[in-house]
Amino acid sequence: MIYDTLVIGRGPAGISCAVYTVRANLSTVVIGKFESSLLKAEKIENYYGFENPISGKELLMAGENQARRLGAEIIEDEVVAIEKEAHFKVTCVKGTYEARTVLLSTGSPVIKAPVKRLEEFEGKGVSYCTTCDGFFYRSKKVGVLGYTDYAVHEALELLPFTKDVTLYTNGMPLNLSDNSKEGLSQLKLNDKKVKSLQGGEVIEGLLFEDGSTELLNGLFVAYGSASSTSFALKMGIETDGKSIVTNNKMETNIPGLYAAGDCTGVFKQVSVGVGQGAIASRQIIELVRKMRKEEN
């Protein structure tokens, strides 16, 4: 099935967009983990229409229930890759989906891995994009810094280029689905805490907290979940370094791909995310209707 629109993220921005698209008769799927920053908000009392404070969790659940009641499909999963061919192909930990349009509403970008000298070697052996840079490491020794499904996905993406791929968890416990656990058997695993990167002009290796070292030609960073900026790097979506750049219609530089909410770097508030989700939905509805006409 090809969905009319696929929304990545089930926070206020994504759910708001889905409410509009599903009511405009667009087949709509929302994919996300239950990890909205709204869950951290104990009390919300500045969102329109609530006389009394409401907890972030209650507001989030109410939004999801509203979207489900109207017919949106909400799937608990983590997106690890997006590609654009004739349609968008969105790869998740548990499945793959196709859609005519995509909304990125993944919230605030994740924090960088807490490892010394990482930034110093960006572009000098440290990369955030296996699709872009995997080719440079044919038959070399490479590592992926991470401990989640996303890290395993990135490490497996490197295997066509080199069989010498190590997953460096930086002392974090592995947090993997069964699929990723199977994939792990094709990788080397190092669970030591990294103290620092080592090298001169380019990265040469890793120094661990226990004083041991390991030589390395390249290190790919996939720490935590894939964020909007990870997708941006892979797909060539314009960013300002931290956030997705959109125009005032919430369009990115990739046709059919929109962004809304905290990932666009705006005033991080529920009302803003909800508003941007609504604006994006308007454009998505128009575009899908145009596509349908052209297909008939």
Ligand X SMILES: Cc1cc2nc3c(=O)[nH]c(=O)nc-3n(C[C@H](O)[C@H](O)[C@H](O)COP(=O)(O)OP(=O)(O)OC[C@H]3O[C@@H](n4cnc5c(N)ncnc54)[C@H](O)[C@@H]3O)c2cc1C
Minimum Å gap between C-beta 49 and ligand X is 13
91 binds ligand X (CB under 6 A): no
148 binds ligand X (CB under 6 A): no
Using CA atoms, how far residue 51 sits from 44, 45, 57, 115, 224, in Å, is 11, 8, 17, 45, 37
78 binds ligand X (CB under 6 A): yes
Which amino acid appears at position 236 of this protein? G
User: Of residues 107, 109, 143, 183, which one binds ligand X by CB under 6 A?
Assistant: 107
DSSP reduced 3-state for 269: coil
User: Given the complex with ligand X, which of 105 and 283 has the nearer CB atom?
Assistant: 105
Which amino acid appears at position 134 of this protein? G
Quote the distance between the C-alpha of residue 101 and its chain's center: 16
225 binds ligand X (CB under 6 A): yes
User: Of residues 262, 265, 279, 281, which one binds ligand X by CB under 6 A?
Assistant: 262
146 binds ligand X (CB under 6 A): no
User: Of residues 31, 115, 152, 187, which one binds ligand X by CB under 6 A?
Assistant: 31
Minimum Å gap between C-beta 150 and ligand X is 7
d(CA 266, CA 243): 9
User: Given the complex with ligand X, which of 24 and 41 has the nearer CB atom?
Assistant: 41
Q: Which distant-in-sequence residues (6+ apart) come within 8 Å of 8 by Cβ?
A: 14, 31, 32, 79, 82, 90, 102, 103, 104, 105, 106
Counting residues that bind ligand X (by CB under 6 A) gives: 34
Crossing angle of helices 12-23 and 270-295, in 10° steps, is 40
User: Of residues 134, 265, 273, 275, which one binds ligand X by CB under 6 A?
Assistant: 273
One-character DSSP codes across 16-50:
HHHHHHHHTT--EEEEE-S--GGGG-S-B-SSTT-
211-217 contacts, C-beta under 8 A, 24 or more apart: 214/166, 214/190, 215/141, 216/125, 216/141, 216/142, 216/143, 216/166, 217/125, 217/137, 217/140, 217/141, 217/142
User: Of residues 12, 256, 265, 275, which one binds ligand X by CB under 6 A?
Assistant: 12
Picking from 187, 120, 181, 117, the residue whose alpha carbon sits closest to that of residue 149 is 181
Minimum Å gap between C-beta 33 and ligand X is 4
Q: Which distant-in-sequence residues (6+ apart) come within 8 Å of 135 by Cβ?
A: 161
Minimum Å gap between C-beta 207 and ligand X is 30
Going along 85-138, which residue ranges are E strands?
88-92, 96-104, 126-127
By CB under 6 A, what part of segment 165-204 binds ligand X?
A: none
293 binds ligand X (CB under 6 A): no
User: Of residues 7, 19, 26, 44, which one binds ligand X by CB under 6 A?
Assistant: 44
User: Given the complex with ligand X, which of 27 and 36 has the nearer CB atom?
Assistant: 36
Stretch that binds ligand X, among 11-19, 131-139, 154-162, 172-180 (CB under 6 A): 11-19
65 binds ligand X (CB under 6 A): no
Minimum Å gap between C-beta 60 and ligand X is 7
Length of the chain: 296
User: Given the complex with ligand X, which of 50 and 135 has the nearer CB atom?
Assistant: 50
Residues that bind ligand X (CB under 6 A): 8-14, 31-33, 35-38, 40-41, 44, 46-47, 78-79, 105-107, 225-227, 261-262, 268-271, 273
